[in-house]
Amino acid sequence: MAGRDPYLTRINRALRDLGSSVSLEVSPSGGRMRLRASLPLSDGSWKQRRISTAFPYPSGVDQARQLAEELGRDLELHRRGLEAFPFERRLQATKMQGPTTAGISGSEALRRTETWWTKQRKRGPSADVTWATAYAGPLKPLLPQQDVTIET
């Protein structure tokens, strides 16, 4: 998608100008940022990999760019033989840890969920019944809770 997105094209060009072998792209499913680079394997060979991040496009581009710069530095130091590639740190950095919001009340969580649900697509006349049966009923235990966190 970077080929079609002038913003990502500029960022990837800037990364290349810095000497980084890492590029950014948007995953086809979900609009999350991914890093693409040839990474060393534990047996000494190299293989191109895509590393998913929890950063959404376009709001997470700056964080993904910083991660790409760090990965590019680690790769360059490893290629030059100056440092071993930090496999443990890279594995920890790639775990999906999405941003969370501050705690909200259960009724606010239910209201936000209903707002999201109704905006997903055009709803028919039976949407109120579907919401009450399939969503509001199962989510009813959230109502008395005071500190619900929502992961996006």
pLDDT digits over 102-142, tens only? Answer: 667 778 878 888 888 887 778 888 888 888 888 888 888 87
What tokens appear for 149 in the block? 């966190």
| 94 contacts 52 by C-beta, under 8 angstroms | yes
Torsion, CA 67, CA 71, CA 73, CA 78, rounded to 10: 170
- Write out pLDDT tens, residues 21-57: 999 999 887 688 999 999 888 888 999 999 888 888 8
- Write out pLDDT tens, residues 52-88: 888 888 888 899 999 999 999 989 898 888 888 777 7
Model pTM above 0.75: no
pLDDT of residue 91: 57
CA distance 14 to 23: 10
CA distance 86 to 50: 17
Terminal C-alpha separation, the chain: 22
Helix, strand, coil percent content, the chain, rounded in steps of 5: 45, 20, 35
